[in-house]
Amino acid sequence: MATAADAYLARRLRPFATTIFATMSELATATGAVNLGQGFPDTDGPSALREAAVAAIREGRNQYPPGNGIPELRRAVAAHQRDWYGLALDPETEVLVTVGATEAIAATVLALCEPGDEVVMFEPTYDSYAACVAMAGAVPRLVRLHPPGWTFDPGELAAAVTSPRARLVLLNTPHNPTGKVFSPDELAQVAALCRDRDLLAVTDEVYEHLVFDGTHVPLATLPGMRDRTVTISSGGKTFSLTGWKVGWVSAAAPLVAAVRAAKQFLTYTSPAPFQVAMAHGLALPPGELQRLADELAAKRDLLCEGLEHLGYRVYRPPATYFATTDIGPVAPGLGAEEFCLALAARCGVVAIPSSVFYGPGDPAAGRTLVRWAFCKRESVLRDALARLASWVP
Ligand code: PMP
Ligand code: GLN
C-alpha cells in the first residue's frame, strides 16, 4: 500500500513506513477503544524505581553519561547475568547500555552485517527485525514457527543457512508475538548450527523475566556460544516501565566494541536518570520479579479463558505480554487485518493482526492470527471481554 512517506522515503524502507503498533494505538485513541494492541502495561512499575529516577534528576544526573552507559548500570547488568544465568561478564568491556532493546537490535545488525549478508529469523518476527535488516542492506532468511506449539522444522532451519552469506541468527526468546519460550532442545539446535556454520547469534530476551511456564535459558549459556552471541535485553518489560527505553547488550568484548561503534552514531548515549533507576531495578530481589510475573500470569489466564469462552482458538502463551488466537471460528472468512479494523469500530477493542509479523513471500501466512496484550488491569480485561461478546460474524 502506498503511504504519505513514499514520496521521500528510500526504497528499502518503504515496506516499513508506519509500525502496526503506532497505527493501532492511534486507532484506539481515535475510537475510544480498549487498547489490547501495543504491548505496554496500564499501571506503572515499582515506585522505588520511579523515585530513584526522580532523585537522580534532583541530584543532577542530567548531562551526557558515558557512551557505553553509567558504571552502576553496567555493573548491575553484569551482576544480573552472573546471578541469574552464571554468565561472567566484564562490566567495562562486555556490557553496553542502549536506548531500549530497539536501539540495541538496530545497532547490532548495522554493526555486524555487510550489505547482502543473510540474517536467519524465526517467523512470525517482531516488527523491528525486518526493518533493521533492511536498513543494514542485509537479507532476511525466514524459518517458520508452527502452531500450536510454535515449533520449527529443523530441516528448514538447516536449509536457511546454506549460503556463504549467512551471517547471523537473530533469535527472540521468550518470543513476541507468540509467547513461545524456546526449549533447551531447540536452543541446542540453534547453537549447533551457529557453531557448525560459524555464525554469530543475536538474542532478544526482553521478556526474560515474564515467564509463567517453563524456564528462560539464554543462548549464550550453551556450549561454545558465549563468545559468538550478542545478548540483548531491556528493563521496560521486566519493570513495567516501557517508556523509559533503557536496554542493554552483553557479549564478548570484540562484539560489544563493534555494536558500540554503531550505537555511538545513532544516539551516542542513553538518558542518564533512567539508567540510575534501572540499576536499582536490576538489584531488586528475585522474589519481587517473580511477584510481577505472577500478577501477569493471572491476567494471561483471565484473557485466555475469556477468549476461549467466546469461541476463539487460543494459543495460550507460556511467557510475555501477548496471547495469539486464530479468529477462524468467530470470524469465518475474515483476514486478521480486516477483523481488527472491524473490531475497533464495532466492539471498541483494538488488537494486533499477527499477519503483519510475516514476510511478504507468503500472503496467506498468519492470515487469521490476532495478538492480544494482557498486560492491563483486570477491570480493563473484563471490559474488553464484555465488549468482544457483542461481536457478530
Ligand atoms: N524486542 C521485542 C521482542 C519486543 O517485544 C520489544 C517491545 N518492547 C522490543 C524488542 C523493544 O524493546 P524496548 O522498548 O526496550 O526498545
Ligand atoms: N514491543 C511492543 C509490542 O510488541 C511495541 C513497541 C513499539 O511500539 N515499538 O507491542
Pairing of strands 95-99, 322-326: unpaired
Calpha distance 373→363 (Å, rounded):
24
Crossing angle (nearest 10°) for helices 336-347 and 378-388: 100
Name which of 11-20, 160-169, 198-207, 314-323 the model is least confident about.
11-20
Calpha distance 183→384 (Å, rounded):
32
Note whether residue 294 is domain-resident. yes
Mean pLDDT of the chain: 96
> What are the pocket residues of ligand 1 if the criterion is a CB atom closer than 6 Å to any ligand atom?
39, 100-102, 126, 172, 176, 204, 206, 234, 236, 242, 245, 247
Same domain, 73 and 165: yes
What's the gap in Å between 393 CA and the centre of ligand 1?
33
Which ligand number lies closest to the CA of residue 240? 1
Domain count, the chain: 2
pLDDT of residue 165: 97
Q: Who wins on pLDDT, 304 or 18? A: 304
Calpha distance 357→181 (Å, rounded):
17
Comparing CA positions, the residue from 251, 217, 221 lying closest to residue 98 is 251
Note whether residue 301 is domain-resident. yes
Note whether residue 172 is domain-resident. yes
Regarding the beta carbon of 233 and ligand 2, being less than 6 Å apart is answered: no
pLDDT of residue 7: 83
Same domain, 36 and 61: no
Q: What is the pLDDT of residues 219-241, one digit of tens each?
A: 999 999 999 999 999 999 999 99
Pick the atom of ligand 1 nearest to 235's CA: 15
Mean pLDDT to the nearest integer, 146-170 = 97
Same domain, 87 and 186: yes
Which CATH number do you get for residue 340? 3.90.1150.10
Q: What is the pLDDT of residues 53-86, one digit of tens each?
A: 999 999 999 999 999 999 999 999 999 999 999 9
Regarding the beta carbon of 38 and ligand 2, being less than 6 Å apart is answered: yes
Comparing CA positions, the residue from 241, 213, 230, 198 lying closest to residue 39 is 241
pTM of the complete model beyond 0.95? yes
Same domain, 95 and 191: yes
- Inter-residue contact 213 to 318 (CB < 8 Å): yes
Q: What is the pLDDT of residues 307-327, one digit of tens each?
A: 999 999 999 999 999 999 999
Same domain, 241 and 114: yes
Which single residue is written with the C-alpha cell 553519561?
65
2 — pLDDT class (breaks 50, 70, 90): low
Give the range of the structural domain holding residue 380, as residue numbers without chain letter. Answer: 4-45+287-388
Which single residue is written with the C-alpha cell 506503572?
44
Same domain, 154 and 178: yes
What's the gap in Å between 39 CA and the centre of ligand 2?
5
CA distance to 65, 116, 199, 205, 256, per residue, from 231 (Å) = 22, 23, 14, 7, 10
Comparing CA positions, the residue from 271, 347, 350, 289 lying closest to residue 99 is 271
pLDDT of residue 100: 98
pLDDT of residue 81: 98
- What residues are paired with 229 via a beta bridge? 201
φ, ψ for residue 326 (rounded to 5)? -100, 125
Domain boundary among 284, 310, 329: 284
- Inter-residue contact 353 to 341 (CB < 8 Å): no
3 — pLDDT class (breaks 50, 70, 90): low
Domain boundary among 253, 284, 315: 284
Regarding the beta carbon of 45 and ligand 2, being less than 6 Å apart is answered: no
Same domain, 221 and 355: no
Which CATH number do you get for residue 242? 3.40.640.10
Same domain, 122 and 270: yes
Q: Who wins on pLDDT, 25 or 259? A: 259
Longest dimension (CA), the chain: 59
Note whether residue 393 is domain-resident. no
- Torsion, Cα of 219, 220, 222, 224 (10° steps): 130
Domain boundary among 233, 252, 284: 284
Same domain, 92 and 190: yes
Mutate to test the pocket of ligand 1, among 77, 121, 171, 206 (most ligand atoms within 8 A of CB): 206
Calpha distance 170→204 (Å, rounded):
8
Note whether residue 340 is domain-resident. yes
Note whether residue 333 is domain-resident. yes
Mean pLDDT to the nearest integer, 33-39 = 95
Same domain, 20 and 54: no
- What residues are paired with 95 via a beta bridge? 250
Same domain, 351 and 225: no
Regarding the beta carbon of 21 and ligand 2, being less than 6 Å apart is answered: yes
Same domain, 296 and 269: no
- How far apart, in Å, do the first and last CA atoms of the chain sit? 27
Residue 329 has what DSSP assignment?
T
Which ligand number lies closest to the CA of residue 320? 1
Note whether residue 330 is domain-resident. yes
What's the gap in Å between 389 CA and the centre of ligand 1?
31
